[in-house]
A and B are shown apart, each in its own frame.
Chain A
Amino acid sequence: MLSEADEYKNKYLRALADYQNLEKRFFNEKKESEKHITRRVVERFLSVMDDIERAQAFHEDEGLTMIAKQFENALKDLGVSEIELVGKEFDPLYAEAIEMVEGDHDNLVMSVARKGYMMGDSILRPAQVRVSKKVSN
């Protein structure tokens, strides 16, 4: 009898704890979820931005530049910023290495193949970079 009561008590406490934790998480998640949705939408459009920039490299077109500018401003309004990486030491937290290239130093970001972005203080999308490998003479 006692053990059954204990079992129910235990179950009750556990359910209560589960609920309280859920409640805490619910409020946090509510705050987070807005961010998440924005992130997902923005992330999806980043590839379009990538291609606009690629196009810019080939075509000097005023209209295209204006579109790119619009896009950049929209990103800025949403709290999105580019991660500056070139010349810095390669940090896998912010970028993925896709190629090794020769250089004067080891492990420096030589160029960016695909830009990385932050949203607020979290990483929206890591960059894809080329990393140096020192050539010994």
Chain B
Amino acid sequence: MAKTIGIDLGTTNSVVAVMEGGKPKVIPSKEGRNTIPSVVDPEKRVVGDVAKRQLITKPREVIFSIKRLMGRKFDDPVVAELQKWLPYEIVKGKDDRANIKINDKTLTPEEISSMILKKAKEDAEDYLGEKVEKAVITVPAYFDDSQRQATKQAGEIAGLQVERIINEPTAAALAYGLEKQNAHNIAVYDFGGGTFDITILELGDGVFEVKSTNGDTHLGGDDFDQTIIDYLVTEFKNEQGIDLSKDAQALQRLKEAAEKAKIELSSSLESEINLPFITVKDGQPLHFVHKLSRAKLESLTAELIKRSFGPAEAALKDAKMTIKDIDEVILVGGMTRMPKMREEVKSFFGKEPNKSVNPDEAVAVGAAVQAGIIGGEVKDVVLLDVTPLTLGVETLGGVSTPLIERNSSIPTSKSEVFSTAADNQTQVDIHILQGERPLAKDNKSLGRFILEGIPPAPRGIPQIEVAFDIDANGILSVTAKDKATGKSQSIRITGSAGLTNEEVEKMRADAEKNAADDEKEKERIQAKNHADSLIYTAEKSLKDAGDKVEQGLKDDVETKIKALKEILDKGTREELEQKTTELSESLQKIGEVMYKQQAEQNQTGNAADGSAQQGETPKDGGADKKDVEEGEVVE
């Protein structure tokens, strides 16, 4: 079976990984590197290092940072901000989306991204020696539905079946193997090339939930390089009075030297920048020799590191957590190799950050692990997709009865047995709901259908099994089956996952806000349902009792039934409960009389009669007991 690859589709660089022999492995690009620069020349269909080499010759035709435009509307303020510094042209495209215009051609960000993904696919095919058709692609936790959708489409354009879109921090946590540990709250500190993200994840029942996410879209490793270059340029200017930033060749050499020094200073305390013949002054060659210490680098970049903790604090606040609540801190992104950054992260969280995974590769590796889980290669690891909202059915009195709770891992199925609300009811209406509110009317209706042909029977006797099943793609099937006849009816709902993140959030927020009122109303309805059920039992008992019970008692019960019926629809919970208790007490008197007569009969009757009666009783009693226990009745 063909492999599923994991792709970290980054703003500056992209990384591809795959599971091999049960272990994740990063796939080297054709250029022999572990990362592919996310740079595209769409005209020549060239991606990565080769495209990057012509950034200067074709500034308006070579596209980088396309991820920043994914799924965005042209009118989005973010786009206006991007237009200020991105050298290529951004135009309004179909559905008001931000598109790219190159010469006379308009391209969507999806198309541009698809070229990066296509290269990832081809590099993987080259490496694996087999066709690759499926992928798991990561996106930032803050990506909304349309940004995720756009990413998925980019994969499809590239000829990849996108098995799943997962959050970058979740992927990182998977790469660190945290799903198998006891950590509950995880902070993912991701310092990338061009962006910084901090995400608080909560791990519960093997499912990662994003509690909050924050960051700085213009803070990354590139800023560190630039800071070093600026410093070196200033130093040289002070020494020699020549501005190297005006000399393209010298600047290029400085850039490379700065990056090399930055990397070197993560493992050694001093790095020598040695650039002979850097420039010419009065016909004489000048050399640039400079010793850069780790301490100097740290003081130069202290502000940059500090900038990451504002978002980190905000993320904690949004997650309603304090530093004490964080069980594990994991590092992602090449910059986190810098000892000073690790030290600062440690002192901020008061905890040694976990750095056991290559931070450049963690996200891609996690995506590969997820791909392995889907492909069945990795077992004992949880599936990550969850239902964002609770799914249930409407039951008597307009109550929403949950079957699959929110945040359940999918695929999953659940069934429950319901019954009828009235005597001789021959059909039930199955109304499928999505949302956290206790009442049906406040939740989103996903669909409804009717199960007919239930044989006439007293209420509560028919057994209708309602089964919910969500497959791995989030498609919900609901089946209702009458256990007596085997008749069944079902519906498939494909749109259940089609809510935007805002919708999901709004629904959750509404549920929280109205929790108290909703709960009260639900209790009232329960009291009403209970009253209704008792009225039914009382009426049945009166009929069964016939003339065995004296008229006075019967009248008392009838009066109380009438009183309860009057307030059934409008009474408060307390009123309903009081009248229900009163009726129940009167009804017990009838019961007592009946039992007494029964007992007398048994004493006078012979043993054979008694056993025959006993033989019947448990049967009826059992059935009765069952429908009282279930208590939930489908309208």
Binding site for B on A (CB under 8 A): 7, 10, 14-15, 18-19, 21-22, 24-25, 36, 51, 54-55, 57-58, 90, 92-93, 95-100, 107, 113-114, 126, 128, 130-131
Chain B residues numbered 232-281 whose CB sits less than 8 Å from any CB in chain A: 248-249, 252, 276-277
- Does the CB pair A107–B20 fall under 8 Å? no
Count, chain B residues at interface, CB 8 A: 25
| Nearest CB in chain B to that of A51: its residue | B276
Contact of B252 among A25, A90, A92, A113 (CB under 8 A): A113
> Which A residues lie within 8 Å of B1 (CB)?
10, 14
- Does the CB pair B249–A128 fall under 8 Å? yes
| Nearest CB in chain B to that of A53: its residue | B277
Residue with the highest number of chain B CB atoms closer than 10 Å, among A18, A92, A97: A92
- Does the CB pair B249–A21 fall under 8 Å? no
| Nearest CB in chain A to that of B284: its residue | A58
- Does the CB pair B57–A14 fall under 8 Å? no
A114 CA / B46 CA spacing, docked (Å)? 23
Stretch at the interface among B47-55, B391-399, B606-614: B47-55
Residue pairs across A and B with Cβ atoms less than 8 A apart, 30 shown, are A7-B376, A10-B376, A14-B1, A14-B377, A18-B21, A21-B128, A21-B129, A22-B21, A24-B129, A51-B276, A54-B276, A54-B285, A58-B277, A58-B285, A92-B50, A95-B53, A96-B53, A97-B53, A97-B54, A97-B56, A97-B57, A98-B252, A99-B249, A113-B248, A114-B249, A114-B252, A126-B53, A130-B248, A131-B56, A131-B57
- Does the CB pair B21–A90 fall under 8 Å? no
> Which A residues lie within 8 Å of B51 (CB)?
92
Q: Is B130 in the interface zone, CB < 8 Å from A?
A: yes
> Which A residues lie within 8 Å of B32 (CB)?
36
A18 CA / B376 CA spacing, docked (Å)? 15
The distance from the CB of B2 to the nearest CB of chain A, in whole angstroms, is 10
- Does the CB pair A25–B56 fall under 8 Å? no
> Which A residues lie within 8 Å of B50 (CB)?
92-93
Number of A-B contacts (CB under 8 A): 66
The distance from the CB of A52 to the nearest CB of chain B, in whole angstroms, is 9
> Which B residues lie within 8 Å of A93 (CB)?
50
| Nearest CB in chain A to that of B277: its residue | A54
> Which B residues lie within 8 Å of A51 (CB)?
276-277
What 10 A-B pairs are tightest by C-beta distance, nearest first?
A: A99-B248, A54-B277, A96-B53, A92-B53, A113-B249, A97-B56, A92-B54, A97-B57, A98-B252, A58-B285
A76 CA / B90 CA spacing, docked (Å)? 48
| Nearest CB in chain A to that of B129: its residue | A21
Starting from the known contacts A51-B276, A100-B57, A130-B248, 6 additional A-B residue pairs (CB-CB under 8 Å) come to A22-B20, A54-B285, A55-B276, A92-B41, A93-B50, A114-B252
> Which B residues lie within 8 Å of A99 (CB)?
56, 248-249
Chain B residues numbered 516-535 whose CB sits less than 8 Å from any CB in chain A: none
| Nearest CB in chain A to that of B32: its residue | A36
Contact of B57 among A10, A15, A107 (CB under 8 A): A107
The distance from the CB of B60 to the nearest CB of chain A, in whole angstroms, is 13
A51 CA / B289 CA spacing, docked (Å)? 13
Known: A21-B129, A25-B129, A113-B248. A15 touches B56 (CB 8 A): no
A130 CA / B53 CA spacing, docked (Å)? 12
A92 CA / B51 CA spacing, docked (Å)? 7
The distance from the CB of B554 to the nearest CB of chain A, in whole angstroms, is 62
The distance from the CB of B342 to the nearest CB of chain A, in whole angstroms, is 28
Chain B residues numbered 126-151 whose CB sits less than 8 Å from any CB in chain A: 128-130
The distance from the CB of A113 to the nearest CB of chain B, in whole angstroms, is 4
The distance from the CB of A60 to the nearest CB of chain B, in whole angstroms, is 13
> Which B residues lie within 8 Å of A114 (CB)?
249, 252
| Nearest CB in chain A to that of B256: its residue | A47
One digit per residue, 1 when the CB lies within 8 angstroms of any chain A CB and 0 when it does not, for chain B 7-50 equals: 00000000000001100000000001000000001000010001
A95 CA / B57 CA spacing, docked (Å)? 12
